[in-house]
Amino acid sequence: MSSYAGYHGTLKLQDDADIGVELQALENAARLTYVDWTLSQGGTDRTLKVYGGGRMSLQQSNDIDEALKGFGKHLSEPAVIQTEWENERGKLIVAVDKKARLKARSTDTLKEITALLPHLDRACTLALIGKCNSRIGHGCPMAEID
C-alpha cells in the first residue's frame, strides 16, 4: 500500500564533512520516489536541500527518514525537515545526538508558540501558562504576561 509522503528542508553541513556514504544511502532510499535534493556550496555554507514527495510505501518513507538522520554527525547545526504522510504534517529533527535533537525540537516548538501568542485571547494565554507551569513543575517565564 502506498500513500503520499513529502519532505522539505535544509541541512547545513560542516565544510569538511565527507558525506559520500550518506548521499548514496539517500540516493538508494529515494529511488523511485519524487523526493530530490541539491547539494550546494556557497562561500562557507554547504547545504543539502531536500524537497518533493509523491506516492510511496511506508518502508520507502522510513528509509528516507533514516538516510536523512545519517547526516546528523555532519551537521553544523540541527535541521528541522518538514514532512507529510497521508495529509498529516510533521517534522523530522536531524542532529548530532539525542540531546541536540531534543533542544532543536524544543526551540522549534517555542518559535511556533511565540508566533501564536499575539492571536490568543487572555483566557487562552492563561490556560497556556497553566499548562506550561504544570509541565515543567516550576515558574514559567510566560507567567509574567498581564
The model's pLDDT over 34-49, given as tens digits with 9 standing for 90+, comes to: 899 998 877 667 899 9
Is the same domain home to 34 and 80? yes
Burial (CB count <10 Å: 0-12, 13-18, 19+), residue 17: middle
Is the same domain home to 20 and 60? yes
Is the same domain home to 34 and 89? yes
Is the same domain home to 47 and 20? yes
Continuous H helices in the chain? 20-30, 58-69, 98-116, 122-136
Going by pLDDT thresholds of 50, 70 and 90, the confidence category of residue 135 is: low
> Which amino acid, 18?
D
Percentage, residues of the chain above pLDDT 90: 49
What domain range is 72 assigned to?
1-96
What pTM did the predictor assign?
A: 0.75
pLDDT in tens, 64-118: 999 999 999 999 999 999 999 988 999 999 999 989 988 888 888 888 888 888 8
Is the same domain home to 78 and 105? no
Is the same domain home to 122 and 78? no
Between CA 6 and CA 90 the distance in angstroms is 10
Is the same domain home to 44 and 90? yes
**Angle between the 58-69 and 20-30 helix axes, to the nearest 10 degrees?**
170
Look at residue 143 and tell me whether its pLDDT is greater than 50. Answer: no
Is the same domain home to 15 and 54? yes
Is the same domain home to 8 and 79? yes
Mean pLDDT rounded to a whole number for the chain? 85
End-to-end CA distance of the chain: 52
Output the nine-digit C-alpha cell for 95: 542532529
Is the same domain home to 77 and 122? no
Q: What is the CATH number of the domain that holds 82?
A: 3.30.70
Is the same domain home to 76 and 118? no
Tell me what percent of the chain is helix, strand and coil, each rounded to the nearest 5: 45, 35, 20
